[in-house]
Structure 1
Amino acid sequence: MSTLPPDSPSPLVLTERRGPVFLIGLNRPEKRNAATFEMLQQLAAAYGELDDDPELRVGVVWAVGDHFTGGLDLADIGPRLGSDGLDFVPDGGIHPWQVEGRSLRKPVVLAAQGTCFTLGIELALASDIVVAATDTRFAQLEVSRGILPFGGATIRFPRAAGWGDAMRWILTGDTFDAAEAHRIGLVQELTEPGRQLDRAVELAERIAAQAPLAVQAALANARTAVREGDAVAEAELGPALASLVASEDAAIGMRAFATRTPPEFIGR
C-alpha cells in the first residue's frame, strides 16, 4: 500500500501492487467516497500508472469503507464544470471513464459495495468485469440533479443492459439493487458482503496468469468492434494474430500445452 510520512494527509486514491495486479482504491470513506476534483486527478494518474508499467497486467478498482461511491461531490466539482465538461486528467494520466484521450490497454476488474451511484456506475461500465456485494445499491441520479450522465453511461449503459432497461434507470434516477444490476448485465458476479474485493482480486489474478500481450490484443479487438464496427475489428484480426504467434509468449504457451505444465508468460 502507498506509504506517507506521519504528518501527510492520506491520499484520496490508494494504490497497491500485488505482483502483476494493481489495486486502485477510492479513499474518502467519511464522505461515502464522493469524488472531488483532486480525487479524480489521483484516479486518472493511477490509471496512467497501470497502463504505463509493463510489470502490471490487470487493475482492480475498489473502495475503502462501506460504500463504493456516492457519486461526484458537486459542491467541489460543480464550479469546475465548463463548456467542455470537466478537465481533470493530469499529464500521463488516463481518463478513468475513458470517454476522451487514450484508452487503457489493460483490463480492469471493479469491486462494488454499499452505495454505487452515478460515477460509480460509469466506472463499472468502463471496466471489463464487475463484482458487487449483494447489498450494493445503484442509481444513475444525474437527471435528478439537473444534469446528464457525462462519464459514458448514455453510451455504454444501453449497450450493456439494452435500451429499455438502461432508460428505465437513467431517465428516472431511481435506485436499483444488486440483483437487478446482475440481471441487466451491469454486474457479472455477486458475492456476499465483504467478499467482493477478494473475488475481484481472484479474477484479476486469473487474468494476470494469461499471456499479457494476448489479453491486451483480445481486449483491444473487442473494443474496436464496439467503437468502430465489426468490419474494422475483423480486418485487424489477422495482423494481430500474426504478431502474437511470433511472440515469445506464444512459444511458451505451446510448450506448456505440449508438456502439460503451467505456462509462465513474460509479456514478450
Structure 2
Amino acid sequence: MNTPPSLAPAEGSIDCTVQGPLLLIAINRPAKRNGFTPKMFRELGQAYTRLDDDPALRVGVLHALGEHFTAGLDLPTIAPLMQRGEKAVPLGLVDPLNLGMDGYRRRSKPMVVAVQGITYTLGIELMLAADIVVAADNCRFSQLEVKRGIMATGGATLRMAERAGLGNALLHLLTGDEFGSTEALRLNFVQKVVPAGQVLDEALRIADVIAAQAPLAVVATRNNALKAVEHGPLAAMQDFITVQQGLSRSEDAAEGVRSFVEKRPARFEGR
C-alpha cells in the first residue's frame, strides 16, 4: 500500500479508502517523512468527521504511506498559524486529537492506529488520541518540542502522564530523547508490537474484529471508558443503568440473544 514519493502531492494529502465497515485513513507525504502541512490537518479532520457521520462505517484505521508514520509538523508551514494562535483543523469538524476544545466535535467511533518508522511529536499525539495502537518493531518515537523551543499542545503533556506516570512522561517530554517500540509498549503508549511490514495487517485484523461487534454497544463502551479516565470512575458509573437500559432495548441486543440461542455469529445492524 506504499505510494512512491513522486506520486504524492507536494503539500501532502490524507487519502481515504473504504474497506467494508472500515475507513482506512492514509497519511500521504512520504517524500517529507509525512510531515504535516495545514492542508493535511484539514483533510485529516474531514476524514475523522466522515467516519463519525457515515452510518455504514464502524471503525477507522489511521496509517501512513512510505517508511515512516510522521516526522511531525512541517514547521515552516505551521509556524505562522502558531504565531497567530490559529488552528489548522476547521471548527465544526471532529478533532483528530480529541481534546474536547470549544467548537470541535469529539470522535465517537473507534480508531485503530498503525505506526512504523519515525513517529515524532504529532505522530505520538495522534496515536495517544486514538483507541488502540499497533507499532512496528522499527519505530523511533520522540516528543521533541523542547528541542524546537515550543511545547507539545496536541495532548502529549496530558496523555503521556496518564498512561505512563508523571516521571516516565517527563523523562521523555523534557529530554526530547528518541525511544523505541519496546519502551513505548512498557509505557502503555502502544498496545501491540509486530514485525515491520505486518503493522497495517494487524491493525486491520483488530479493526475487523471490533467492526463485527454491536456498533451501539461498542460506542457506548468506548464512551464510558473514556469518561472514567477523564472524569473519574464515579462519574462513569452513573451512566451504567440508563445506558444499559437503552442498549438492552435495541435490535442488536435482541440479535445478540438470538445468535446465542441459535449458536451462530451475530449479525449486528447498529439499531
TM-score normalised by the chain length of structure 2: 0.93
Give the equivalent residue in structure 2 for 1:267.
Answer: 270
Q: Counterparts in 2 of 1:1-268, with a 5 A limit?
A: 9=9, 12-82=13-83, 84=85, 86-90=86-90, 92-99=92-99, 100=101, 101-268=104-271
DSSP 3-state at the match of 1:98: coil
Q: CA 1:229/1:82 → structure 2, altered by over 3 Å: closer, same or farther?
A: farther
Rounded Cα–Cα distance in structure 2 between residues aligned with 1:21 and 1:245: 25
Tell me which amino acid in the other structure corresponds to 2:181.
A
Structure 2 unaligned segments of length 5 or more: list them. 2-6
CA displacement, residues 13-58 of structure 1 (integer Å, 9 cap, x when unaligned): 0100111111000000000000001100000110000011111100
Rounded Cα–Cα distance in structure 2 between residues aligned with 1:204 and 1:250: 21
RMSD of Structure 2 on Structure 1 (CA): 1.6
Tell me which amino acid in the other structure corresponds to 2:197.
G
Rounded Cα–Cα distance in structure 1 between residues aligned with 2:237 and 2:8: 51
Tell me which amino acid in the other structure corresponds to 2:61.
V
DSSP 3-state at the match of 1:175: coil
- Count of matched residue pairs: 262
Shift of 1:70: 0.2
Q: CA 1:135/1:8 → structure 2, altered by over 3 Å: closer, same or farther?
A: closer
Deviates more, 1:7-16 or 1:247-256: 7-16
Shift of 1:102: 1.7
Rounded Cα–Cα distance in structure 2 between residues aligned with 1:12 and 1:231: 42
Shift of 1:165: 1.1
Shift of 1:93: 2.1
Shift of 1:228: 1.8
Q: Is the 8 A contact 1:46 1:93 kept in 2?
A: no
Over the matched positions of the two proteins, sequence identity in percent amounts to 48
Shift of 1:224: 1.1
Rounded Cα–Cα distance in structure 1 between residues aligned with 2:39 and 2:89: 10
Structure 1 unaligned segments of length 5 or more: list them. 2-6
Q: Runs of 4+ in structure 1 displaced over 3 angstroms?
A: 7-11
Q: CA 1:73/1:8 → structure 2, altered by over 3 Å: closer, same or farther?
A: closer
Tell me which amino acid in the other structure corresponds to 1:145.
R
Tell me which amino acid in the other structure corresponds to 2:219.
Q
Q: Is the 8 A contact 1:48 1:92 kept in 2?
A: no
Q: Is the 8 A contact 1:28 1:64 kept in 2?
A: yes
Give the equivalent residue in structure 2 for 1:4.
Answer: none
Shift of 1:251: 0.4
Tell me which amino acid in the other structure corresponds to 1:196.
V
Rounded Cα–Cα distance in structure 1 between residues aligned with 2:173 and 2:143: 5
Q: Is the 8 A contact 1:60 1:108 kept in 2?
A: yes
Tell me which amino acid in the other structure corresponds to 2:126.
L
Tell me which amino acid in the other structure corresponds to 2:33.
R
Rounded Cα–Cα distance in structure 2 between residues aligned with 1:8 and 1:164: 40
CA displacement, residues 152-205 of structure 1 (integer Å, 9 cap, x when unaligned): 011111111111111110110000011111111111101111100010000000
Q: Is the 8 A contact 1:112 1:132 kept in 2?
A: yes
